[in-house]
Copies of this chain bind each other. A is one copy, B any other.
Amino acid sequence: MPSEPLALGIDIGGTRVRAGLVDAQGVLRARAETATDARGGPAAVVAQIVKLADEVAASVERGDLVGAGVSAPGPLDTVRGVALGVPTLRGWVDVPIAALLAEALGLAVRLENDGIAAANGEWRFGAGRGLSSLVYVTVSTGVGGGVVADGRLLRGRFGMAGHVGHMTVVRDGTLCSCGNRGCWEAYASGTAFAVRAGREPRAVFAAAMAGDAAALAQVAEEADWLGLGIANLCHLYSPERVILGGGVAKGFALLEPGIRARLLRNAMPAFRDVGVTAAALGENAGLVGAAALLFEGKG
């Protein structure tokens, strides 16, 4: 019997699949990842996950694990454990992913929409520790999120709450990856940022750090779009803090003044002092947050 409980964390992404062995303090004891076999369909990805799980949990008897927490891109029906139709993973329509993984791994499985899983990670072990209400926003290829409200993860019908990237901020505006127009994601994502700037966000941040005027203007435009959506989230969820993660958050220090300026302009006075901070767990937030579900009952 192990001296303390351990769980598997699995993070199924559109480009990478990650697995980790996580303890109840949120420490990653082991970690492995591989490129997602997106073309192979669910069965191929399940096989990848079993292999990664064997790798990270090699030192532990499978029966000694509390279970596996699985983060996957949504919208997922996490009540039934089914992927309804994942835009970033073709062929994942009505796939009973929780049941497939429970059988393949021989473990209890908890499935969570990726934004909610990462929000849980940041809440339990990262930039949101000790708070009762927070919004986590991840800005990379797309824009996702998860919410803690009044001391609990906000799930809603089918566990699909917090799809913050798909709130319309411009009626009939720019086409989004979801097929709709004018979503926040279509303006604020790393993809949209790169299209506007004509280069990757990290290159824009580097040039801005060096004082390049065009890059500074591009950063300001990105920060403005981020601030606009964050102001919305403050009115909608009334968080104590908004936590920004994902690749674009690597430029948080550069983005922060513009985010704050837009927040001051768009938020009603009672919401203007809400803190906005960078996430602490980086790309491990989902992994750790999903595993942590196993230590918390219903979370």
Q: A-side interface residues toward B, CB under 8 Å? A: 74-75, 77, 84-85, 132-133, 149-150, 152, 154-164, 166-171, 178-180, 228, 231-232, 235-240, 265-271, 274
Within the complex, what minimum Cβ distance (angstroms) separates A172 from chain B?
A: 9
- How many subunits of this chain does the assembly comprise? 2
A160 — which chain B residues lie within 8 A by C-beta?
Answer: 238, 270-271
Chain B residues whose CB sits within 8 angstroms of the CB of A232 once the complex forms: 166-168
Candidates B155, B163, B231, B265; contact of A268 at CB < 8 Å: B163
**Docked CA distance A228–B160 (Å):** 19
Known: A84-B270, A133-B156, A152-B150. A171 touches B171 (CB 8 A): no
Q: Per a CB cutoff under 8 Å, which of B171, B238, B270 touches A155?
A: B238
Tell me the complex Cα distance, A67–B93, Å: 51
- Cβ contact of A166, chosen from B162, B163, B235, cutoff 8 A: B235
Known contacts A133-B156, A149-B149, A268-B178, A167 near B236 by CB under 8 Å: yes
- Of all chain B residues, the one with the shortest Cβ separation from A161 is B238
Let me know if A268 and B161 touch, CB within 8 A.
no
Q: Give the docked Cα–Cα distance between A270 and B87 (Å).
A: 11
The winner among A156, A167, A231 for most chain B CB atoms within 10 A is A156
Taken together as a complex, chains A and B put the C-alpha atoms of A11 and B83 apart, in Å, by 44
Collect the chain B residues with CB atoms within 8 Å of residue A154's CB: 149-150, 154, 237
Question: Contact between B265 and A180 (Cβ–Cβ < 8 Å)?
Answer: yes
Contact: B271 with A75, CB < 8 Å?
yes
Candidate in A158, A179, A269, A270 with the most chain B CB atoms within 10 angstroms: A270
Contacts of A150 in B (CB 8 A): 152, 154-156
- Structural contact, A156 and B167, CB atoms closer than 8 A: no
Inter-subunit contact B166/A169 (CB<8 Å)? no
